[in-house]
């Protein structure tokens, strides 16, 4: 990239100098003088996500905001001898990506742990554990994440596989969705988990058991989280160091804002870690956080806690101001709440964490206090009940300014899609998950399998879509954070780069590129209540943008994973540059 020109010419205007650097005052634009910009970017394919001006060639930045979005010729008026000018040489510029559902602090706590390749298999995961244990003999606990529980069949993983490679130290591995854990015998011994240990919530948060009621080493939902806590695998130091790394990786993928859908095990240190990173200038993202509840015994005081955080946590970079409610589990764990039983498991149609009455009370009280609510609902019944709660809250508190988003939305009915639109609820999801689910297919009916991730139906019903990675529960390691990587799968509903791979039904739910970009920018900004500041490139908004080496509208979607982020800018400052 060339910067600090003495002058430039524009293609199509050969021989016509648009400005001459060295001027100490701003030039005239439309007969009026304008203050000089701090920086100018030109010769770009600027996709603004602004319906009034979808495309531009150049932008000008002053004091961290966009002061011009338009043509190469028009931007000349905003440059003087001190303006930094960057020729992007035809590269694509987009608004900075907004990840609308992620766990950066929780992910930070795990950033230095063993990351398993979700797309591998049980034998590969065991081998990875063996190698990691050999390389880290000083670690008292072998901790990792990323396995796919459904790869083991209905009974899930077994402790015996891990015992073969590590028997002298506890091993605890979280699954790719962080809804289950795989433990070896030593971990069960240290945790004192035996045939007599009661389940936290039978049928939802429980220990999988075999002959004689003996725990098999597969821990579901709350039992997995308790095991992490009891083994003390997360520390303030690991959260801080790891979160800095996660924020840097986010910038390298073009992400400039994020919603933390629950710090969970890192929640105790959430604000202090964020403040420490901000004060050290090691946090180049806008962060909206939440207080998450995952069980009925956390209801009391939950909304008071959100109000307290909303009042005390606000800073230039972060604000914790939303309630996150987790109301069901996952399909692979057969804990997502459905309208019909799981295949081969009569009597089990999943469970909701909260009763309809409890959900109603939580959402209505939040509406009364103008608190935004984000609800985990993956199964069709959980989605239905979440919408019931929102409808009641909007009816009861008509003047409330609360916004509502329901996340994951893996299996959704036609009726629910219409209700999303009628109630103005945001549909939040992770495009990475829309490739063919050969494992989950075993557990659901054909009808349900054909109602997976109905992005195009949401779009056609004018429902606001917001996309995010759910890192570290995305299932693809840190690559799962990449919006462009996610967009490829959201568009093809196939594995990346695999034209002949099976397509996840329904093929009609393939989403167009423009809608995927909007979901990762303006749609997500709306969920975060920041659409007036970020999410599109418009004069007066924050100068947050990303530069790609290829135009996504002119690139083969099956090669999106090869597209590189060359620059990420936040508040007008370059926070990442490809070297």
Q: Give pLDDT, residue 192.
A: 93
Three-state secondary-structure class, residue 405: strand
Residue 179, pLDDT score: 84
Question: First CA to last CA across the chain, in angstroms?
Answer: 11
Q: Indicate if the pLDDT at residue 347 is higher than 70.
A: yes
pLDDT at 496 over 80: yes
So where are the chain's domains?
2-90, 114-231, 236-569
Determine the pLDDT at residue 26: 55
Domain 236-569 bears CATH identifier 3.40.50.300: no
pLDDT of residue 265: 78
Please determine, for residue 19, whether its predicted confidence score (pLDDT) is greater than 50.
no
**3-class secondary-structure state, position 252:** helix
Going by C-beta distance under 8 Å and a sequence separation of 6 or more, which residues neighbour residue 90? 43, 44, 45
Task: Give the residue-averaged pLDDT of 26-34.
Answer: 61
**Domain 114-231 adopts which CATH fold?**
Diaminopimelate Epimerase; Chain A, domain 1 (3.10.310)
Q: Over the stretch 114-144, which tens digit does the pLDDT of each residue have? A: 888 888 899 999 999 999 999 999 889 999 9
Strand-pair category, 180-183 with 171-175:
antiparallel
Where do runs of H (alpha helix) occur along 314-402? Answer: 356-368, 380-396
Q: Specify the residue for token string 């709440």.
A: 337
pLDDT category of residue 92 using cuts at 50, 70 and 90? very high
Please classify residue 313 by burial: count the beta carbons closer than 10 Å to its beta carbon, then call 0-12 exposed, 13-18 middle and 19+ buried: middle
Contact 289, 313 (CB under 8 A): yes
Q: Would you call the peptide bond into 472 cis, given omega within 30 degrees of 0 as the criterion?
A: yes
Instruction: Confirm if 255 and 291 have CB atoms less than 8 A apart.
Output: no
DSSP state letters, 417-451: HHHHHHHT-EEEE-GGGGS--TTGGGTS-HHHHTT
Per-residue burial over 481-492, b if 16 or more Cβ lie within 10 Å, else e, is bbbbbbbbbbbb
Average pLDDT over residues 498-526: 98
How confident is the model at residue 9, as a pLDDT? 29
pLDDT, residue 29, reads: 52
Per DSSP, the three-state class of 466 is strand
User: What secondary structure does DSSP assign to 104-152, as a single string?
Assistant: HHHHHHHTTSEE--TTS-HHHHHHHHHHHHHH-TT-SSEEEEEE-GGGG
Fold agreement (2-90, 236-569): no
Q: What is the mean pLDDT of residues 302-320?
A: 97
Domain 2-90 has CATH 2.30.40.10: yes
**109: pLDDT confidence band, cut at 50, 70 and 90?**
confident
CA–CA distances in Å: residue 306 to residues 106, 336, 390, 540: 19, 26, 18, 30
Could you tell me which residue, 150 or 259, shows the higher pLDDT? 259
Three-class SS of 56-97? ECEEEEECCEEEEEECHHHHHHHCCCCCEEEECCCCEEEECE
Residue 8 has pLDDT above 70, yes or no: no
Tell me the three state secondary structure of residue 27. Answer: coil
Phi first, then psi, for residue 396 (nearest 5°) are -75, -40
The mean pLDDT value of the chain amounts to: 92
User: Does 40 have pLDDT greater than 70?
Assistant: yes
Taking only the tens place, the pLDDT of each residue in 255-274 is 999 999 999 878 989 999 99
Q: Please answer whether residues 147 and 157 qualify as being in contact, where contact means their C-beta atoms are separated by less than 8 angstroms.
A: yes
| Strand arrangement, sheet containing 207-209 | 114-115, 142-147, 171-175, 180-183, 215-220, 207-209
**What confidence category does residue 324 fall into, taking pLDDT thresholds of 50, 70 and 90?**
very high
- Residue 12 has a pLDDT of 32
Asked if residue 83 has pLDDT above 90, the reply is yes
Region 20-45 average pLDDT = 71
Contacts of residue 526, Cβ cutoff 8 Å, sequence gap at least 6: 403, 426, 464, 466, 535
Q: Read off the pLDDT of residues 213-222 as tens digits, 9 standing for 90 and up.
A: 999 999 998 8
CA 397, distance to chain mean position in Å, is: 30
* pLDDT-above-70 percentage for the chain: 94
CA 310 to CA 272: how far, in whole Å? 15
Split at pLDDT 50, 70, 90, the class of 28 is low
Buried b (16+ CB within 10 A) or exposed e, 114-150: bbbbbeeeeeebbebbeebbeeeeeeebbbbbbbbbb
Angle between helices 270-279 and 236-252 (to 10 degrees): 60
Q: Which of 174-178, 449-453, 575-579 has the lowest mean pLDDT?
A: 174-178
Q: What is the pLDDT of residue 1?
A: 41
H-helix or E-strand containing 526? helix 522-527
The pair of structure tokens assigned to 232 is 């003390």
Do 259 and 526 touch, CB atoms closer than 8 A? no
Do 467 and 427 touch, CB atoms closer than 8 A?
Answer: no
A 10 A CB-CB count for 415 gives 10
């Amino acid at each position: 990239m060339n910067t600090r020109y003495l002058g430039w010419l524009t293609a199509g205007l050969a021989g016509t100098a648009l400005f001459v650097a060295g001027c100490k005052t701003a030039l005239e634009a439309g007969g009026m003088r304008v203050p000089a910009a701090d920086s100018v970017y030109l010769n770009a394919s600027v996709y603004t996500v602004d319906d009034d001006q979808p495309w531009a060639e150049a932008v000008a930045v002053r004091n961290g905001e966009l002061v011009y979005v338009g043509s190469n010729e028009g931007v000349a008026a905003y440059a003087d001898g001190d303006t930094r000018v960057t020729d992007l040489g035809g590269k694509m510029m987009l608004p900075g990506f907004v990840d609308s559902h992620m766990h950066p602090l929780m992910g930070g706590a795990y950033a230095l742990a063993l990351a398993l390749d979700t797309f591998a298999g049980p034998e590969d995961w065991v081998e990875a554990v063996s190698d990691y244990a050999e390389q880290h003999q000083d670690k008292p606990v072998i901790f990792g994440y990323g396995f796919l529980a459904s790869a083991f069949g209905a009974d899930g993983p077994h402790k015996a596989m891990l015992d073969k490679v590590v028997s002298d130290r506890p091993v605890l591995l979280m699954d790719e969705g962080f809804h289950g854990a795989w433990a070896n015998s030593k971990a069960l011994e240290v945790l004192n988990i035996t045939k007599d240990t009661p389940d936290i919530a039978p049928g939802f948060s429980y220990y999988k058991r075999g002959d004689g009621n003996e725990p098999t080493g597969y821990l579901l939902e709350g039992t997995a989280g308790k095991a992490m806590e009891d083994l003390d695998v997360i520390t303030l130091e690991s959260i801080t160091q790891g979160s800095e790394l996660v924020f840097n990786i986010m910038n390298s993928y073009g992400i400039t804002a994020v919603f933390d859908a629950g710090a969970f095990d890192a929640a105790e240190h959430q604000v202090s870690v964020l403040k420490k990173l901000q004060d050290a200038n090691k946090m180049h993202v806008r962060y909206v956080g939440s207080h998450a509840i995952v069980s009925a015994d956390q209801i009391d005081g939950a909304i008071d806690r959100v109000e307290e955080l909303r009042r005390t946590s606000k800073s230039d970079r972060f604000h914790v101001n939303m309630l996150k409610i987790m109301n069901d589990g996952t399909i692979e764990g057969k804990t997502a709440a459905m309208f019909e039983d799981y295949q081969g498991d009569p009597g089990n149609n999943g469970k909701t964490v909260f009763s309809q009455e409890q959900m109603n009370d939580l959402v209505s009280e939040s509406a009364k206090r103008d608190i935004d609510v984000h609800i985990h609902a993956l199964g069709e019944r959980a989605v239905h009940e979440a919408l019931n709660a929102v409808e009641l809250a909007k009816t009861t508190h008509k003047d409330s300014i609360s916004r509502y988003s329901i996340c994951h939305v893996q299996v959704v009915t036609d009726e629910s899609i219409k209700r999303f639109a009628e109630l103005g609820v945001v549909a939040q999801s992770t495009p990475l998950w829309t490739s063919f689910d050969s494992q989950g297919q075993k557990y659901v009916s054909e009808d349900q399998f054909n109602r997976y991730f109905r992005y195009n139906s949401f779009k056609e019903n004018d429902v606001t879509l917001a996309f995010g990675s759910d890192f570290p529960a995305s299932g693809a390691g840190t690559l799962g954070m990449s919006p462009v990587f996610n967009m490829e799968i959201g568009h093809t509903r196939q594995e990346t780069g695999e034209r002949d791979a099976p397509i996840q039904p329904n093929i009609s739910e393939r989403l167009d590129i423009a809608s995927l970009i909007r979901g990762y920018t303006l749609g997500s900004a709306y969920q975060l209540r920041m659409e007036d500041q970020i999410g599109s490139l418009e004069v007066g908004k924050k100068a947050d943008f990303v530069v790609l080496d290829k135009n996504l509208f002119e690139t083969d979607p099956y090669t999106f994973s090869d597209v590189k982020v060359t620059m990420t800018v936040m508040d007008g400052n370059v926070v990442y540059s490809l070297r």
